[in-house]
């Protein structure tokens, strides 16, 4: 399973969350308005105890029914005003926050498309999916509730404490007694919860990966009767995640218990002291009622601190996980700075600037090792010197693990060379933008990946925006993919996820059609006919010869029938080009090539 980088340690929660500001900035007016409305609503709620004080010391003490009814009307109006303001706050944040979530998800998707293949080799797909779904949902929830109410509740607590101190400063000091223990407890909780929250969200990504692999590999699981072992693997990961979530619950229960208990004790103590003062005549009953009502009104802002901090930590972890992907360096879509664009342009347009010997596809002392390979391991490819002349087709042959697929992946720059150069008609591929390079080079991979789209759309992905029905039909004819016309909606038939509704040979023919539909200048085929039966293979080869006559091609081959499509053959052995010649020459002069073509390793990879 692919891995993910280790999380950053001891990063400030506030500093991490501030990275969301570029996404929040466009909707800041709505969010600030919502925060102001929520603060106003909370302050309206704090006026209620003052109305109670007036009622107790006034109409109730003087037995004035009219005053009592008037006070009740005031309380009703204040309650309705508070409810309407909180409702308005929710309306203000709903639309802008959905926009923030959507823009962040779209940004992540665009970024993933621009990241190099080496990144996707390292990362588990489930980890990426969880960042695009679960983590962004947590961020939306944070922006909608904790972000606002950490501010609102902070202001409410400050205003409420001022009101209580103005009512009676001695009772105010009694209620403020637990403040320091509460702050210490919150700081300890925040550090511990941050680690557990990160662990839980990473485990969600691992679980997502298992589910995705099980769904995509359901045929293998059923075919080999491995559903029980897969269920055990899923159950083990689920139990691990459950344990982590229970750890989070225990931490939250602990902080909640402390936050609830200490203020309750303080309010109880203030009640006892206040009753004594009222009995001694040092405090009015109305003032005590107002004080206790204010203290009780502050219970929710204080008690909410625990889960607001928890949600903020989860949001900080989600932000960190999101930017772990967004901080990865993308492929540069432009030409490499500092290169000679005049020579490149002239060569690319065939003006004759490049020397005749440089035209075609050429490897100049190419060396490659994977970026994440352990230190000290030998390179996969080394000292590759190979020249495929314009209009020539060359077969690439080698034993399993010799580096054939890796070599073909270097041409469209799916991986970057460790050293050396690859040129197309004399132009270094690094001088071309990736868009321009991949417009020149078409690739058909050994694994024929199809998308959940129409057959025609899958094939036309290999052509420009101007390609039409004629191009599609020509490509289907070359690949002998006429079977698509027998599908329920013809070329408009949806092939389903991964194209698994089609046979392996049908998927491979569509992948070949996708490679040739754009009539590329350079064609790279990685064992394009391995899944075809003998008769279909012969028909495809006959049609493919016409295409190869007009392009420069490199074809990874395992069978003699595929090798015979090429003008010459290159033998790759131990990461080096061991021999180059025609098929018949190498059969006579190279024992390793003769052994490979003898059929003993036919179909091996």
Answer yes or no: is 379 within a domain: yes
* Whether residue 311 sits in one domain with residue 233: yes
Task: Supply the pLDDT for residue 34.
Answer: 85
Choosing from 278, 300, 326, the residue where a domain stops is 326
Answer yes or no: is 200 within a domain: yes
Per-residue pLDDT, averaged over 93-109, amounts to: 86
Task: Supply the pLDDT for residue 319.
Answer: 92
Query: Two tokens at 526?
Result: 């990685």
Choosing from 326, 351, 375, the residue where a domain stops is 326
Answer yes or no: is 136 within a domain: yes
**Residue 92 φ then ψ, to 5°:** -65, -30
Task: Supply the pLDDT for residue 343.
Answer: 37
* Whether residue 413 sits in one domain with residue 288: no
Measured distance CA(514)–CA(518) in Å, rounded: 8
* Closest C-alpha among 387, 392, 394 to residue 358: 387
Answer yes or no: is 563 within a domain: yes
Do β-strands 427-428 and 419-424 pair in parallel, antiparallel, or remain unpaired? antiparallel
- Confidence check: pLDDT of 344 > 50: no
Burial string for 163-193 (b: 16+ CB within 10 Å, else e) reads bbbebbeebbebbeebeeebeebeeebbeeb
Question: How many other C-beta atoms lie within 10 A of the C-beta of residue 210?
Answer: 18
Task: Supply the pLDDT for residue 355.
Answer: 55
The total number of structural domains that make up the chain: 2
Q: Give Cβ neighbours of residue 102 (< 8 Å, ≥ 6 apart).
A: none
Per-residue pLDDT, averaged over 400-408, amounts to: 87
Answer yes or no: is 224 within a domain: yes
Task: Supply the pLDDT for residue 345.
Answer: 38
Task: Supply the pLDDT for residue 61.
Answer: 78
Lowest mean per-residue pLDDT among 65-69, 357-361, 476-480, 551-555: 357-361
Q: What would the pLDDT profile of 282-314 be if each residue is shown by its tens digit?
A: 888 888 888 888 888 888 888 787 778 888 888
**Coil/strand/helix, residue 330:** coil
Q: Give Cβ neighbours of residue 602 (< 8 Å, ≥ 6 apart).
A: 558, 559
Q: What would the pLDDT profile of 59-76 be if each residue is shown by its tens digit?
A: 887 788 888 888 889 889
Task: Supply the pLDDT for residue 1.
Answer: 45
Measured distance CA(321)–CA(198) in Å, rounded: 9
Share of the chain above pLDDT 70, in %: 91
Task: Supply the pLDDT for residue 63.
Answer: 82
Half-sphere exposure of 309 (CA within 13 A, CB side): 26
* Whether residue 154 sits in one domain with residue 25: yes
Share of the chain above pLDDT 90, in %: 11
Do β-strands 419-424 and 361-368 pair in parallel, antiparallel, or remain unpaired? antiparallel
* Closest C-alpha among 149, 160, 151, 153 to residue 49: 160
Residue 475, domain CATH: 3.40.50.300
Answer yes or no: is 605 within a domain: no
* Whether residue 518 sits in one domain with residue 434: yes
* Closest C-alpha among 519, 506, 413 to residue 463: 519
* Whether residue 267 sits in one domain with residue 238: yes
* Whether residue 218 sits in one domain with residue 121: yes
Per-residue pLDDT, averaged over 233-261, amounts to: 87
* Whether residue 522 sits in one domain with residue 409: yes
Q: What would the pLDDT profile of 162-179 be if each residue is shown by its tens digit?
A: 888 888 888 888 888 887
Residue 182, domain CATH: 1.20.1560.10
Measured distance CA(604)–CA(597) in Å, rounded: 11
Q: What would the pLDDT profile of 506-560 be if each residue is shown by its tens digit?
A: 888 888 888 888 888 898 888 877 767 777 778 888 888 888 888 898 988 888 8
Answer yes or no: is 7 within a domain: no
* Whether residue 85 sits in one domain with residue 186: yes
Residue 375 in contact with residue 546, Cβ under 8 Å?
Answer: no
Query: Two tokens at 277?
Result: 């003062």
* Whether residue 360 sits in one domain with residue 259: no
- Confidence check: pLDDT of 55 > 90: no
Q: Where are the beta strands (DSSP E) in 548-588?
A: 552-556, 568-573, 576-581
Answer yes or no: is 141 within a domain: yes
Task: Supply the pLDDT for residue 292.
Answer: 84
* Whether residue 348 sits in one domain with residue 208: no
* Whether residue 315 sits in one domain with residue 358: no
* Whether residue 395 sits in one domain with residue 296: no
Choosing from 298, 326, 354, the residue where a domain stops is 326
- Residue-range definition of the domain harbouring residue 125: 14-326
Residues in the chain, total: 605
């Amino acid at each position: 399973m692919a891995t993910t980088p280790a999380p950053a340690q001891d990063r400030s929660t506030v500093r991490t969350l501030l990275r969301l500001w570029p996404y929040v900035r466009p909707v800041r007016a709505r969010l600030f308005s919502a925060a102001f409305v929520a603060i106003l609503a909370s302050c309206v709620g704090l006026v209620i105890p003052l109305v109670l004080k007036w009622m107790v010391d006034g109409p109730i003490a003087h037995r004035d029914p009219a005053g009592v009814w008037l006070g009740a009307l005031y309380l009703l109006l204040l309650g309705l005003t508070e409810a309407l303001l909180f409702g308005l706050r929710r309306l203000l944040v709903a639309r802008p926050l959905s926009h923030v979530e959507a823009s962040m998800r779209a940004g992540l998707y665009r970024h993933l498309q621009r990241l190099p293949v080496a990144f996707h080799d390292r990362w588990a797909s489930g980890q990426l999916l969880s960042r695009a779904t679960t983590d962004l949902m947590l961020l939306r929830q944070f922006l909608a509730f904790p972000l606002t109410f950490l501010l609102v509740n902070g202001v409410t607590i400050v205003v409420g404490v001022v009101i209580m101190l103005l009512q009676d400063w001695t009772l105010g000091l009694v209620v403020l007694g637990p403040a320091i223990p509460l702050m210490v407890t919150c700081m300890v909780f925040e550090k511990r919860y941050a680690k557990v929250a990160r662990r839980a969200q990473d485990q969600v990504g691992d679980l997502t990966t298992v589910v995705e692999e099980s769904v995509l590999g359901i045929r293998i699981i059923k075919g080999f009767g491995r559903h029980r072992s897969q269920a055990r693997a899923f159950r083990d990961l689920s139990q691990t995640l459950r344990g982590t979530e229970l750890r989070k619950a225990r931490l939250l229960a602990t902080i909640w218990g402390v936050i609830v208990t200490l203020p309750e004790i303080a309010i109880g103590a203030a009640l006892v002291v206040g009753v004594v003062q009222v009995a001694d005549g040092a405090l009015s009953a109305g003032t005590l009622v107002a004080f206790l009502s204010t203290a009780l009104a502050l219970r929710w802002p204080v008690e909410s601190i625990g889960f607001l901090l928890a949600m903020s930590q989860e949001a900080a972890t989600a932000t960190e996980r999101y930017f772990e992907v967004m901080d990865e360096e993308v492929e540069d879509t432009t030409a490499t700075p500092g290169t000679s664009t005049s020579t490149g342009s002239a060569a690319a347009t065939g003006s004759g600037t490049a020397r005749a010997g440089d035209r075609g596809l050429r490897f100049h002392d190419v060396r490659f090792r994977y970026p994440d390979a352990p230190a000290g391991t030998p390179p996969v490819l080394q000292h590759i010197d190979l020249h495929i002349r314009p209009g020539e087709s060359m077969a690439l042959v080698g034993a399993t693990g010799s580096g054939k697929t890796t070599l073909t992946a270097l041409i469209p720059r799916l991986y970057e060379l460790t050293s050396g150069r690859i040129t197309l008609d004399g132009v270094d591929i690094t001088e071309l933008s990736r868009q321009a390079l991949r417009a020149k080079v078409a690739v058909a991979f050994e694994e024929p990946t199809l998308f959940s789209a129409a057959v025609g759309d899958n094939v036309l992905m290999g052509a420009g925006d101007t390609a039409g029905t004629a191009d599609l039909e020509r490509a289907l004819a070359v690949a002998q993919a006429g079977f698509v016309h027998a599908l329920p909606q013809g070329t408009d038939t949806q092939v389903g996820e991964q194209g698994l509704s089609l046979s392996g040979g049908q998927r491979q023919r569509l992948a070949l059609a996708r490679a040739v539909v754009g009539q590329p200048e350079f064609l790279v085929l990685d064992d394009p006919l391995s899944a075809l039966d003998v008769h279909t293979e012969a028909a495809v080869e006959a049609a493919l010869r016409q295409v190869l006559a007009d392009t420069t091609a490199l074809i990874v081959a395992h069978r003699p029938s595929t090798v015979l499509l090429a003008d010459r053959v290159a033998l790759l052995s131990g990461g080096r080009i061991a021999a180059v010649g025609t098929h018949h020459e190498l059969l006579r002069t190279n024992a390793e090539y003769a052994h490979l073509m003898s059929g003993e390793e036919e179909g091996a990879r």
